[in-house]
Each structure stands twice: as structure tokens, then as C-alpha cells.
Amino acid sequence: MGKEYLTIALGKGRLAKESMNLFEKIGIPCEEMRDKSTRKLIFVNEEKKVRFFLAKAPDVPTYVEYGAADMGIVGEDTILEEARNIYEVLDLGFGACRMCVCGPESARELLDSGSLIRVASKYPRIAKDYFYNKKHQSVEIIKLNGSIELAPIVGLSEVIVDIVETGSTLRENGLSVLEEVIPLSARVVVNQVSMKMNNDRIMELIRQLNSVL
């Protein structure tokens, strides 16, 4: 019987390029996937019996939980927010950034005042966990889908919980980091059944990835 394909889901966007570089380094190139003009969704490396696909980052943990992908590469922010039943096995180090509470300096005093403030975020679960379980502060969480920095500027919320990488989006909009929630980076995640059934192959792949970090 021929070796079965190992299926790997990569999050589209900021982490995709570095993820591909990493697989190239361990001898599993996915050249076709770099072609921005292609509408193809799945890429096969016949020699290594590996299939890759690019998915929206928040969907990567879903594909991996259901076993439609054996493994995936996705940011820790997405892993925490999606809270799927998957194994997180390796910190790849790249895509390093921080989840922070941000806002205008004037909002700083509101954070410890116990007043019911509004918090806008693309990550309502992470925001809720931070304010409720860590700070024990009741807040109203407002879910947004992007350009979160707008919220305190136009008066939708007092603060935001969002990713800060270089800090330039904050700077250019007159906002600051007020508190740090958690450091983030790209992680390898694995389906729980694949980890048992395909342990040798997956562990070898993790070992190889780890050796080129």
C-alpha cells in the first residue's frame, strides 16, 4: 500500500510566507502556492506525499480539529480565540507580536477604576478571558472584524484588545499600549487522532521543523 498523504493547513496572510519558507528548508517545497495569481486551493508534493492548503487563519484550527488537515500552522491568537480540541506542539518563533489592551492615554485610569467600560476586539474570547478571569473587571465586549483602532477614535469603545507588532498603527492613530495581555507567535497544531495514528511521521516532521528554527 502506498504512503498516504499528510495534509497541512496554512493560515493565509502574514504567516503564510514564512510557513512556506520553513517547509522549503526541510525539503518540502510548495513553490506553486507562492503564485499569487493562482485560484487553486490545494497543492500536492507528490514526492513527499504532502498536501498543503491555504485557509483563512480562524478556520485552520477547525480543519485540524475535524481531521480534514492533520496539521496546521497558525498564530497563537487564533488558537486561543477558536479554542478547538487540537494539540499545540511547537512554537515556531516567527510572527512574534503581542496581544494588548490599547487606547488613548486618557483611558488608562478607566482600567483600574472598576467602571463598566466598552472593549472592542476581533478577539472577544481573549478579551473576555483577560478582563473577567484575570482582572476581574466587568466590561462590555464589542466584536469587530478589522481596523480595530478606529473604535476608540470614533467613540465606539474606550479601549481595544488587539495585536501590536511594530506599534506603528497605534502611533499613527494617537493610541498607546495600556496593558499587555499575552505574547504571540506562530504555532504548529496537530489533530488529536492523527497524532496517534500517524505518530512517527508527524513527530519526525516536528523534529525537522524544530531543527531549522
Comparing CB distances to ligand PRP, the nearer of 79 and 164 is 164
Total Cβ atoms within 10 A of residue 53: 21
Comparing CB distances to ligand PRP, the nearer of 147 and 199 is 147
Total Cβ atoms within 10 A of residue 23: 23
Q: How far apart are CA 17 and CA 151, in angstroms?
A: 30
CB 148 within 8 A of CB 101: no
Comparing CB distances to ligand PRP, the nearer of 65 and 76 is 76
**Residue 86 binding ligand PRP, by CB under 6 A:** no
> What's the closest the beta carbon of residue 30 comes to ligand PRP, in angstroms?
23
Comparing CB distances to ligand PRP, the nearer of 51 and 122 is 122
Comparing CB distances to ligand PRP, the nearer of 10 and 202 is 10
Supply the DSSP symbol for 132. Answer: I
First and final C-alpha spacing in the chain: 34
> What's the closest the beta carbon of residue 115 comes to ligand PRP, in angstroms?
25
Binding mask 129-168 for ligand PRP (x = CB under 6 A): -----------------xxxx------------xxxxxxx
| Residue 115, helix vs strand vs coil | coil
Cα 191 to chain centroid distance, Å, stands at 16
> What's the closest the beta carbon of residue 59 comes to ligand PRP, in angstroms?
16
Beta-strand relationship, 71-75 and 6-11: parallel
Q: How far apart are CA 73 and CA 10, in angstroms?
A: 5
CB 71 within 8 A of CB 188: yes
CB-neighbour burial class of residue 139 (10 A; exposed 0-12, middle 13-18, buried 19+): buried
* Region 99-128 residues binding ligand PRP, contact defined as CB under 6 A: 122
> What's the closest the beta carbon of residue 108 comes to ligand PRP, in angstroms?
19
> Which residue has the CB atom at the shortest distance from ligand PRP?
146
Comparing CB distances to ligand PRP, the nearer of 101 and 164 is 164
> What's the closest the beta carbon of residue 32 comes to ligand PRP, in angstroms?
25
For ligand PRP, the binding residues (CB under 6 A) are 122, 146-149, 162-169
